[in-house]
A and B are shown apart, each in its own frame.
Chain A
Amino acid sequence: MSASQTITDLAPLKLVIVGHVDHGKSTLIGRMLHDTGSLPDGKVEAVKAMSDRRGMPMEWAFVLDALQAERDQGITIDTTQIFFKTPTRPYVIIDAPGHKEFLKNMVSGAASADAAILVVDAKEGVQEQTRRHGYILQLLGLEQVVVAVNKMDLVDHAKGRFDEVAGEVRDYLASMGITPAAILPVSARHGDGLAAKSENMPWFSGPTLIAALDALEPKPLPVELPLRFPVQDVYKFDERRILAGRIESGKLNVGDTLLFSPSNTRAKVQSIEAWSVNGPVLSAAAGQSIGITLDDQLFVERGHVASHESEPPVQTNVFRARIFWLGRAPLEVGRRYKLKLATLEHPVEVQAIERVIDVSDLSERPADRIERNEVGEVVLRARAMLSVDEFTANPRLGRFVLIDGYDMAGGGLISMEGFHDLRRANAPTSQNITAVETRVTTDARWTANGHRSGVLWLTGLSGAGKSTLALELEQALFRKGWQVYVLDGDNIRFGLSADLGFAPKDREENIRRVGEVAALFARAGVLVITAFISPYRSDRDRARAVAPDLFHEVYVNAGLAVCEERDPKGLYKKARSGEILEFTGISAPYEAPDNAEVEIDTGALPLPQSVEQLLSYVEANFSTKGS
């Protein structure tokens, strides 16, 4: 077999062609296909006829403009994939459009590309979409960029102009951390500098465009990263229970112990199943769609992620993300979207928009919304623990899309900057723990008690009235015959947390213990009322995560001024005088709940009304009478 017979069996290198409108992307592609001898017979004649019919000189862009509508408009409206080959290897090119509103098509093409050709008009230089596309390439993690400075014939093939434009492009790309693989002068319409060296530009000693492309490398599969095997589905077509999915990164072998997140359960790989293959499969790696059976029938479902125990994904319910927005309606604080990350789907809420980035000059500004085609940084929060990676650590589980209604409205890259991995905080340190299945279910306890159980987690400033409210409520419910108990600062601090002080770490640990104890009480059938300032959202969220189905957050809301005036224990005075350091509301932050189940305005309401409001919430949500 000759060389040309074997190269077609290689995986094609995926190229995306980007650049400002009318800088000549389609012409470059059409001409490149021609110059590499990749056009089917008769196509050149067809393009010639099409051009003639429209009274135009030979228009190479028509090679791609397959749709009637496009030819009429004279612009390329959607991503097209075209195959061609050089003597070195096959390529597939994605013709990304230049029009501003077509970001979604560019992203659809560029996200799967190995490399990009950025086309820049020699006359016009770097324009708005040149910058925008460059930014998106970087955002999508596309690092191999070849810059074609096109239409050199219109600037008399002048070296001076080329150097100017090349410098401009290089500077912009460098500001985003991209070093182009090559910057070269071409004149696509005339095939100058594409496959053959240009006679018009003898001053250029660099490669032709084709030679520059042939020097690129396909994006390697992330085989060396830690194992991530997101479960796509669980099949039981026959006696086998098969977990199906694609290995996103790393490798796995039969016999490996897998850790499933977020359930934190473990099992060994018993077999790797396959149909119509020679012999048993004993290992698999990134990129492969496989199926495995386990030695233990764990509860596993779509969205769970298998890893090795030593290198699990991050566990969190809040993270930062860089977002590009494609939605018709803007992204706004407080709005909910469906997050899709590998096979995981989960609702998330926008907690904050940190900034919007103007991709044409990389300036940043604060904003309360991200509009279509804009890029910004946000904080997203979920009700449950998600298994993710930082994009920089593992792109496959570090990227996600957001669904608004029925539509894919944006994509994002995860950063954990400023947030903890909650895995360690939630995971037992001791290895020999087996959960004991009690024979008395929580449901049975509810039936016996005549009410549901749960955790009413009161949070608010010191002096807001948490303890008073808790004790009043406890008494009122006890009189009705309820199983109810208050966990307050002192009764915990005297015993369970006697070893802890008031340093931030100790406070965090104290709240963690309260969360665990409250959950135990709740599972035992008791309605637990906790009264702790618990100023940090992450601490409260962790407490929620212990028993998410039983947890009700109650925001006891009284303004700082009111609390400071009440100052029942004289603590605010001491804090103001510096006698107490890190006092919540004065010298330490209070993070108000953003999605508490109920909010009691104890700043405005007198105590009896506050108790009444909370009591009716409890009766509506915990009473089993009449339901």
Chain B
Amino acid sequence: MNHLDSLEAQSVYILREAFNKFDRLGMLWSLGKDSNVMLWLAKKAFFGHVPFPAMFCDTGKKFPEMYAFQKEYSEKWGLNFIRRDCPPIEEIDPTLPPAARSAARKTEALKRLIAELDLQAVIAGIRRDEEATRAKERVFSPRGENAEWDFRDQPPEFWDQYKTDFAPGTHIRVHPLLHWTELDIWLYIQREGIPLVPLYFSRDGKRYRSLGDMDITNPVASDADTVEKIIAELRGTKVAERSGRAMDHEAEDAFERLRSAGYM
């Protein structure tokens, strides 16, 4: 088994554990590269099927290319697609810095979606290498009644035994991509031929490394217009992947506060 094989096998194992343990389960599909890889892995795990809904919390501010992609692949991949609008910014904690406040709309929409579908668990495509607070995560990460994350008291997790017993009211985030890096994702996209939103590929000397809302996501300077060129670029770079995501950089603890409150 090579490196990508073992990453894939581990993610498939995690997805199957989640599917076995939760009757009411959903997967977040942000339309970004990671969540496409995650859907692909679900099809690997369940032999061509995705046996839970693919959920999209729509801020209404995504790039048109993303909406087009969603339409095309919801159908092609036979997804049970569920879209919900995020609440307006006025309903969000005004003490958060502006970009983080904007991002928190998604958290609120997710909380409402979880309540509406009575979900026990949500699968999210976060990775440990993305951002420091995500590095602290567990594969099965319990949340309290209000989706809050207690990073100080996380359950032990070893020998691929995840937390699968809960008090009523607990909700679980499942993270099948936690052990992947950005480069792993691209190498896997290359090997498997996974389709992506075209914004990742360079146009006029710029491309997006990470996709969020139009108003709080910035492209990086790049000539990489194929998966191969992106991989070559990543091997050389030292710029953080989420450097184009404004909400991560407004204050030392902005992202940590977002996550403690239930952000992905």
Q: Which residues does A use to contact B, with CB under 8 Å?
A: 4-5, 8-11, 39-41, 66-69, 77-83, 104-105, 107-108, 110-112, 140, 221, 232-233, 235, 237-238, 240, 242, 244-246, 273-276, 285, 287-289, 291, 302, 326, 338, 340, 399, 401, 403, 405-408, 411
Contacts and interface: CB of A to CB of B under 8 A. Distances in A.
B154 A233 contact: no
A5 B235 CA distance: 6
Given A104-B156, A291-B47, A5 B232 contact: yes
Contacts of B238: 39-41
Contact of A399 (B13, B43, B47, B159): B159
Given A232-B20, A274-B44, 15 more contacts: A66-B133, A66-B136, A80-B132, A108-B157, A232-B17, A245-B16, A276-B40, A287-B1, A287-B9, A289-B45, A302-B20, A401-B158, A401-B161, A406-B166, A406-B167
A405 B8 CA distance: 32
A66 B134 CA distance: 10
Contacts of A405: 165
Nearest to A277: B44
20 contacts: A9-B2, A40-B240, A67-B256, A77-B152, A78-B154, A80-B135, A104-B156, A108-B156, A108-B157, A111-B159, A112-B158, A232-B13, A238-B49, A288-B5, A289-B10, A401-B159, A406-B167, A406-B170, A408-B163, A411-B159
B68 interface: no
Interface of A (DSSP majority class): mixed
A69 B132 CA distance: 13
B1 A273 contact: no
Contacts of A275: 43-44, 47-48
Contacts of B136: 66-67, 78-80
B151 interface: yes
B239 interface: yes
Nearest to A233: B20
B66 to A, nearest CB: 24
Nearest to B252: A68
Interface residues of B, number: 57
Contacts of A81: 128-129, 135, 179
A289 B9 contact: yes
Interface of B: 1-3, 5-6, 8-10, 12-13, 16-17, 19-20, 40, 43-49, 51, 128-129, 132-133, 135-136, 138, 151-152, 154-159, 161, 163, 165-167, 170, 179, 181, 183, 187, 192, 232, 235, 238-240, 252-253, 256
Nearest to A409: B156
Contacts of A240: 47
B120 to A, nearest CB: 14
Given A5-B235, A80-B136, A406-B165, A274 B47 contact: yes
B72 to A, nearest CB: 18
A276 B44 contact: yes
Contact of A235 (B8, B46, B157, B158): B46
Nearest to B12: A289
A82 B239 contact: no
B47 A403 contact: no
Residue from the set B13, B43, B47 with the largest chain A CB neighbour count within 10 Å = B47
A276 B6 CA distance: 17
A232 B21 CA distance: 11
Contacts of A78: 136, 151-152, 154
A408 B12 contact: no
B181 A83 contact: yes
A237 B51 contact: yes
Contacts of B44: 274-276
Contacts of B49: 237-238
A83 B16 contact: no
Residue from the set B40, B165, B179 with the largest chain A CB neighbour count within 10 Å = B165
Contact of B183 (A8, A237, A411): A8
Contacts of B20: 232-233, 302
Contacts of B253: 67-68
B226 to A, nearest CB: 16
B182 to A, nearest CB: 10
A288 B9 contact: yes
A5 B234 CA distance: 10
A289 B13 contact: yes
Contacts of A406: 163, 165-167, 170
A69 B152 contact: yes
A246 B47 contact: no
Contacts of B165: 338, 403, 405-407
Contacts of B235: 4-5, 8
B152 A107 contact: no
Nearest to B49: A237
A535 B188 CA distance: 61
B155 A408 contact: yes
A111 B13 contact: no
A66 B156 contact: no
A79 B151 CA distance: 10
A576 B163 CA distance: 56
A210 to B, nearest CB: 19
Nearest to B10: A289
Contacts of B183: 8
A237 B48 CA distance: 9
B37 to A, nearest CB: 13
Contact of B47 (A5, A10, A232, A237): A237
Contacts of B40: 276
A221 B5 CA distance: 13
Contacts of A302: 20
A5 B47 CA distance: 33
Nearest to A247: B9
A326 B158 CA distance: 12
Contacts of A105: 154, 156
B195 to A, nearest CB: 12
A30 B49 CA distance: 43
Contacts of A244: 16, 45
A611 B37 CA distance: 68
Contacts of B167: 406
A233 B16 CA distance: 8
Nearest to B127: A81
The 4 closest A-B pairs by CB, nearest first: A66-B132, A111-B158, A104-B156, A289-B12
B169 to A, nearest CB: 11
Residue from the set B10, B45, B51 with the largest chain A CB neighbour count within 10 Å = B45
Nearest to B4: A9
B172 to A, nearest CB: 12
A336 B5 CA distance: 39
Contact of A408 (B3, B161, B252): B161
B141 to A, nearest CB: 12
A40 B240 CA distance: 6
Contacts of B128: 81
Contacts of A80: 132, 135-136
Given A221-B1, A287-B6, A289-B13, A235 B181 contact: no
B29 to A, nearest CB: 18
B156 A273 contact: no
A291 B13 CA distance: 11
A82 to B, nearest CB: 7
A11 B3 contact: yes
A318 to B, nearest CB: 22
A226 B156 CA distance: 29
Contact of A411 (B43, B158, B256): B158
